[in-house]
Structure 1
Amino acid sequence: MTTTSPLAQRPGAVVAEGATVAAHRVAVHYGDPLREQRLLAEGAGLVDRSDRDVLTVPGVDRLTWLHSLTSQHLERLADGTGTEALVLSPHGHVEHHLVLAELGGTTWADVEPGTGAELLTFLQRMVFMLRVEPALVTDAWALLSLVGPRAPEVLAAAGLPAPEDAYAVAALPDGGWVRRVPSLGDGGATAFDLLVPRDALAGRADALTAAGAGSAGLDAYEALRVEARRPRHGVDTDHRTIPNELEWLRTAVHLEKGCYRGQETVARVHNLGRPPRRLALLHLDGVSEDLPAPGTPVLSGTREVGRVGSVVRHHELGAVALALVKRSVAADADLAVGGSRAALDPDDLAEEADDTRTAARDRVRAVRSATIGR
């Protein structure tokens, strides 16, 4: 059964229409998505991300057990810290992306909406005789994100800790925790995740709002996430995705660790240095009112050279998308997505020659001029 978050029932909240895989529906915006993006980029905005699934793994064997099952080095994960990890298929394809927090003898994992039950089934099958008790606790715990350069100030005004180091985790007074996560957007907006009891979600949000945070919907968060080139599993990935194609090779994979499912593929492709595809930011002309859906092919002429994932309207960049494209795609290629002209962002072309990057910038300007001239 699907329920609606109390924060999505407040004045001005708009909930996405259509089918959802999440057990808890959240607001995509509160009436002004572009203003909400600027709030996250320049001030402090509170985003309801309580649609994410949450799992706990208590038990004395939890870290060595998770270490053996995932791509990350976890057996010595310190209390009060977090990280990211992947569960891979035997062939190295990404099956789950976990954001972890280790606190007080329990490992917490938040994952994509609707994927927690499948992950729990996998974990339960791998318990054997070990002292671990994985559980899905989404109905009891909810995730909020506080984003913006004023986020530490808001936490301090609310009497809450604001960890300074990436993925540092601190306990909250009434249960749950606050975790610092990588910044969002090219401007480096500071970001924290807060896990709170679901029945205290509205109260915690009120306290942060009183401390200076504004309300922002999921659309604003997604726009800054896309700008930062941070992928989402199941949206920016497909059944063929391997970690080497994404930033997860840096954030969620420990390359000196072996003996986990899919490790041979990761090591082989890393040693060769040529993953089949790469994640890139695409600029779209934005002529159509309807943005392309995740999975829409990226075309170079009549040839399919990739697929788009997250597609957003950014308050500065216009219509942009994350896309997995073949490595052979030229930096200044004439691309199309769902009838829209598209161009690779030149900031993703650091290894290319100066004249190639210049051609790519010219291509982006041509695409964006179509949006401005609408």
Structure 2
Amino acid sequence: MTVVREFHEDYGATFGDIGGRTLPLEYGRSARTHRAVRNVVGATEHAYGILVVEGDDRLDFVDNAITNEVPAEDGEGCYALLLDPQGGIRTDLYVLNAGEKLLVFTPPSKVEDLHEEWEENVFIQDVELSDASDAFGVFGVYGPKATEKIASVFNGGSSPEAHLSFVRGRMGDHGVTVLRDDGLTGEEGFIVVCAADVAEDVFGTLITNGLNAVPFGRDVWEALTLEAGTPLFESELEGVVPNVLGLRNALDFEKGCYVGQEVVSRVENQGRPSRQLVGLVADAVPESGAAVFDGDASVGEVTRAGESEMREEPIALALVDYGLDDEADLTVRVDGEEVDAHVEPLPFVEGSDESDRLPRYD
């Protein structure tokens, strides 16, 4: 459930279910809102499950479970994955080192299972786990003026510059943590975390104080991340081996073993995953799951698609056969008909930042 529902209602939001959480989908005039974020700045409420990990063995415990190295310094974070025995992605997550505790941010639908699983795996280690998903408000600020926006309302230090680094300070009378986003929208971005009981004041500050920011919902978020070439958990990541996605920023092959690492390492060493994630431009917007054809041969399927507000044409992400010719004359199936499509380099839209999740196969 959103922690600031009345605020969203006052701005005319319509709501939907995001991983079991009720959040705004849109506020009307989505095209204008989309362009406002791309040209200036916007703010949105995010849905995350939040697991708090405490105890002297917290770093080793989490590090042994995930695909990336847990940062050892307060104020640093990483993006990582939890894999199944076949190397497929069970969930993605962010791990933030907050001094005496780690904060683990997951898709909201995954936090309960992760909490139970990690509780079962605590033996003699000094580790304490708690689900704090309802204790925080989490907001995102995105756009080429996002740094300026944060600077106009944040007291206590300068905005963090490195991706997934964070600082603590105040917005108005309330303590907040400000994290530099990893470029998911293709624009400068920050995550603002605060206590749930002051979330309405903090979100109001982000929208109206200092440099104004337009509020936007999940529909615009998905459109922005699609233009940026960012794979998302629900549409691209779940169940897929990370090498297929070219998801290099989530993997550290120098660290010790984690579940699924052997499979991922074997694919990496072969240098040839079975499929790859590409961008497509098509003559019409296909549905997720639509088949992609090279002549009469099926070569993949669409994972997510939409009408790009910035390019004014249909765009899509698709998982296709590895090594597919970039110049191939492709088609995708739309409403039972095949329409022309071609591979397009990612990102579709270049903004003020670049997504760390852009597929990389070198």
For Structure 1 versus Structure 2, the TM-score category normalised by the shorter chain is 0.7 to 0.9
Q: Which residue of 2 aligns with 1:367?
A: none
Cα contact 1:236–1:309 (8 A) shared by 2: yes
Superposition pairs for residues 209-248 of structure 1, below 5 Å?
Answer: 209=207, 210-212=209-211, 213-239=213-239, 241-248=240-247
Q: Distance in 2 between matches of 1:238 and 1:184?
A: 17
The 10-residue stretch of structure 1 (140-149 or 158-167) with the greater mean CA deviation from structure 2:
158-167
1:296/1:139 Cα in 2 relative to 1: closer, same or farther (>3 Å)?
A: farther
Question: 1:185-233: per-residue Cα shift (whole Å, max 9, x none)?
Answer: 5xx4100111122222211111112222221222222222112221111
**TM-superposed deviation, 1:21:** 5.3
Matching of residue 22 in structure 1 with residue 19 in structure 2: yes
Matching of residue 295 in structure 1 with residue 289 in structure 2: yes
Cα contact 1:139–1:198 (8 A) shared by 2: yes
Cα contact 1:40–1:221 (8 A) shared by 2: no
Q: Distance in 2 between matches of 1:302 and 1:139?
A: 51
Secondary structure at the counterpart of residue 78 of structure 1: coil
Superposition pairs for residues 314-333 of structure 1, below 5 Å?
Answer: 314-317=308-311, 318-331=313-326, 332-333=328-329
Among candidates 53, 58, 61, match of residue 54 of structure 2: 58
Q: Which residue of 1 aligns with 2:10?
A: 10
**TM-superposed deviation, 1:344:** 3.8
> What amino acid maps onto 1:59 in structure 2?
G
Q: Which residue of 1 aligns with 2:69?
A: 73
Q: Which residue of 1 aligns with 2:81?
A: 86
Cα contact 2:69–2:78 (8 A) shared by 1: no
Cα contact 1:236–1:308 (8 A) shared by 2: no
How many pairs align?
335
1:163/1:342 Cα in 2 relative to 1: closer, same or farther (>3 Å)?
A: farther
Superposition pairs for residues 1-374 of structure 1, below 5 Å?
Answer: 5-6=4-5, 7-16=7-16, 20=17, 22-49=19-46, 51-74=47-70, 76-160=71-155, 161-173=158-170, 174-185=174-185, 188-209=186-207, 210-212=209-211, 213-239=213-239, 241-248=240-247, 250-286=248-284, 292=287, 294-301=288-295, 303-317=297-311, 318-331=313-326, 332-339=328-335, 341=339, 343-348=341-346
Q: Which residue of 2 aligns with 1:365?
A: none
**TM-superposed deviation, 1:301:** 4.8
Q: Which residue of 1 aligns with 2:355?
A: none
**TM-superposed deviation, 1:281:** 1.4
Question: 1:239-263: per-residue Cα shift (whole Å, max 9, x none)?
Answer: 3x10101242x21100222311111
The 10-residue stretch of structure 1 (274-283 or 152-161) with the greater mean CA deviation from structure 2:
152-161
**TM-superposed deviation, 1:24:** 2.7
Q: Which residue of 1 aligns with 2:360?
A: none
| Long gaps (5+) in structure 2 | 348-362
Secondary structure at the counterpart of residue 189 of structure 1: coil
Q: Distance in 2 between matches of 1:231 and 1:129?
A: 37
Q: Distance in 1 between matches of 2:302 and 2:115?
A: 29
> What amino acid maps onto 1:244 in structure 2?
N
**TM-superposed deviation, 1:70:** 0.6
Cα contact 1:88–1:262 (8 A) shared by 2: yes
Cα contact 2:90–2:238 (8 A) shared by 1: no
**TM-superposed deviation, 1:22:** 3.0
Q: Distance in 1 between matches of 2:129 and 2:301?
A: 35
Cα contact 2:73–2:99 (8 A) shared by 1: no
Tell me the TM-score normalised to structure 2 length: 0.85
Q: Distance in 1 between matches of 2:2 and 2:146?
A: 28
The 10-residue stretch of structure 1 (112-121 or 172-181) with the greater mean CA deviation from structure 2:
172-181
Cα contact 2:26–2:219 (8 A) shared by 1: yes
Q: CA RMSD in A?
A: 2.2
Cα contact 1:37–1:220 (8 A) shared by 2: yes
**TM-superposed deviation, 1:5:** 4.5
**TM-superposed deviation, 1:62:** 1.0
Q: Distance in 2 between matches of 1:313 and 1:244?
A: 28
Q: Distance in 1 between matches of 2:15 and 2:307?
A: 17
Cα contact 1:245–1:279 (8 A) shared by 2: yes
Q: Distance in 2 between matches of 1:40 and 1:230?
A: 17
**TM-superposed deviation, 1:176:** 4.5
